[in-house]
Structure 1
Amino acid sequence: MRPDLIARIVNDPFGDPALFLSRRFEKTAFLFDIGDLSLGSRDLLKVTHVFLSHTHMDHFCGFDRLLRLLLGREKTVAVYGPPGIIQQVGARLSAYSWNLVHRYRDVLRFRVTEIGETTSRTHVFSSRLSFKAEEEMRGHAVSGGIRPILETEDLTVTAVPLDHGIPCIAYRVTETARIQIRPDALARHGYVPGPWLGKLKQALYAGRPGTDMIQPAGSPGHRAAGETGGHAAAAESPPPCSLGKLRDRLTKIRPGQSIVYITDLAGTRENIRRAAALARNADHLFIEAVFLEADQKHAGKKHHLTARQAGWIAGASGAKRYTLFHFSARYEKMNPGREETQAVFYAEAARGVAEGAAKRGRNTGPGGNAAPVPCPFSYPAAV
């Protein structure tokens, strides 16, 4: 089955970090970090949520481009980030004069949420009020470590604070069970595709009772197996059917995807433990690998991962697939070329994957569940 979540790194591995996560058949998208972007306007207009790891320039400088593109449109964009993000978004917005913004009929809003180690709070910036902040939700206590920050009918976003010399956030998007409509079953029962299938999926995602009734659409002249009597034309309007029967007749339900985005973290034991826990059994892990192993001390001073550490997290977490990005510019002109340089990063990561996977195998708990995996290495951060 083709995935409903389509994730891609926006720039090449040496460019500013950013992940674009779109949804098949939907005009919405998530954007993780917003530095210098190669995204076209068509993609940016789909963005409904921005998840910031932190606000170093290479992760945040594209905010103004998004603002300019969306201004004058009726839209609310949710922005998540580390402590200070409310003040920082407010500072970007207050840098402009808004005496003409009232001429726009449609209202643009940024709903900004800070993710702290133990607290969370939200403010809204609205073009109707010249982007002056309104407190929407008072700060409230949250548990430390991994916690949900967004929950909808069909997915959950969780986050965990990390240390990059400043607070930094890593994210995981997990779909609920994915519902697939079986074309062969549609034909067999005399149904045709249409908006009613979307309503069927929504009802299943929402957990509505199996006795609820759904109105299907039928094929002209078709009589479902076992039906007798009446005129063929009557099949154009089949009778309502219970949600439970339609689920059993027409759908396959499979586990949803999980996508993880981790960047800009020091290679400390606690950071690596948290990162591996967030990425546990992920379908696709996107993770920074800024330095090669030969520069491990420099990586520690810069609060970044080496390729080997990134690979270790991938292996220890049991992620099914991983993609490296955020390579340091110091390697961009390595001989013999960029592709060969990327191969070096992945070769070092593969070593870490093997080490992490071996450690995970030795830490399997009862029933085959992975127990917490201790990290075998860390490099000192700058003092």
Structure 2
Amino acid sequence: MLQAEIKSLLREDISILIKVPNSGKHYLCDCGEASLLTVKEIQSVSAIFISHTHIDHFSNFDGIFRHQIGSGEKIVICGPKNIHHQIEARLKSYTWNLVGENAIEYEIREIVSKEEINVYKIRPPHWNLEWVKTQHFLFEDEYVNVDFAILDHKTDSIAYLFKEKDSVTFNENTSEFKKGKWISELKTAFENNNSDKEIEIEQTVYKAADLFHLLERNAGYKLGVIMDHAVCENNYEKIKTVFKEADMVYIETFYKDEDQEFAKQNYHSFATASGKIMNECEVKEAIPIHFSRRYTESDKLEIETAFYKTFREN
């Protein structure tokens, strides 16, 4: 299943690395200061997901692309409206006369709305944006597809849900046949809904439909990252729509309950508010993240205690 690691220390910004086990594939959520993020991890990132471009979520982008240049790879960057211009500005602020055009390519996906994703590409040395197309989905590769919600943080703040592809497994306890290549053929027929496919087992031919009972579809693991958002019903309705019954969600919990007036003023969340919405979403597990820099370890413990008390209420 997907694995997430927080790469920022308490008084740093926020950056979360999501790993696909046994693949070497990484996704990065936000580019804040993150001293635990290694060069090797950065070079394994195939897609970056930016919630919004306040400095504590975007300040380390330069350090990240510094270690990606020269890879020759195409790296996807997803983010809110105008993310393509902000990426372009960062890249054009440096001199690239010693870097060739094949050193890297960024494909930028600007989230205009749930139905409109504008796709651009940009590459060295001149970093001129090229519009590619408009599409209706955000991101999908061989491992995950990514859904999202556009939340209000007095600017668009994108919350992302990573869903592993469903898998099909063979239940050998219900089978009287010896294992063989027929299992992969059966799985292919099952995934393609080809019930008439002929499957040969031990010199006997069966219709795939007669063997489908030997297979089991397993729902893909769902991991969410909800960054900065105001405490308001409109945000909560969007969160419920996307993150309902997720397996794991990391959620911004910037303030202690006693500082919730600051949360309201700054369009942030606070401990019990974040815990309550996770409870209402019926997620299996949730982790509070992204605390104000003013807080100490004891403050963090106080936030976590209040969060989990509310989250785990029946």
TM-score range, shorter chain: 0.7 to 0.9
Letter in 2 for 1:124: K
The answer on 1:51 being equivalent to 2:36 is no
Secondary structure of the residue aligned to 1:345 is: helix
Alignment of 1:241-260 (within 5 A): 252-260=216-224
> Does structure 1 retain, via aligned residues, the 8 Å contact 2:168–2:187?
no
The answer on 1:345 being equivalent to 2:309 is no
The answer on 1:305 being equivalent to 2:269 is yes
Change (3 A) 1:202 1:347: same
The answer on 1:158 being equivalent to 2:147 is yes
Partner of 2:259: 295
Which of 240, 247, 250 is matched with 1:276 structurally?
A: 240
In the comparison of the two structures, how many residue pairs are matched? 312
> Does structure 2 retain, via aligned residues, the 8 Å contact 1:16–1:58?
yes
Change (3 A) 1:18 1:241: farther
Partner of 1:367: none
Change (3 A) 1:202 1:183: closer
Change (3 A) 1:24 1:245: farther
> Does structure 1 retain, via aligned residues, the 8 Å contact 2:257–2:303?
no
Note the C-alpha offset of 1:115. 0.8
Partner of 1:377: none
Task: Identify unmatched segments of 5+ residues in structure 2.
Answer: none
Letter in 1 for 2:310: G
Note the C-alpha offset of 1:341. 3.5
Secondary structure of the residue aligned to 2:225 is: strand
Change (3 A) 1:306 1:132: same
Note the C-alpha offset of 1:95. 0.8
Secondary structure of the residue aligned to 1:49 is: strand
Equivalent-residue separation in structure 1 for 2:85 and 2:126 (angstroms):
15
Letter in 1 for 2:253: A
Change (3 A) 1:314 1:130: same
Letter in 1 for 2:140: E
> Does structure 2 retain, via aligned residues, the 8 Å contact 1:115–1:121?
yes
Alignment of 1:37-76 (within 5 A): 37=34, 38-76=36-74
Which of 70, 90, 93 is matched with 2:91 structurally?
A: 93
Change (3 A) 1:326 1:248: same
Which of 3, 8, 12 is matched with 2:5 structurally?
A: 8
Partner of 1:174: 163
Partner of 1:26: 23
Change (3 A) 1:12 1:76: same
Tell me which protein shows more strand as a share of its residues: 2
Partner of 1:207: 192
Secondary structure of the residue aligned to 1:123 is: strand
> Does structure 2 retain, via aligned residues, the 8 Å contact 1:261–1:287?
yes
Deviations 1:36-89 (A, max 9, x none): 222112222221111100011221122222212121122111111111100000
Change (3 A) 1:276 1:190: closer
Which of 106, 111, 121 is matched with 1:115 structurally?
A: 111
Equivalent-residue separation in structure 2 for 1:33 and 1:134 (angstroms):
24
Percent sequence identity over aligned pairs: 23
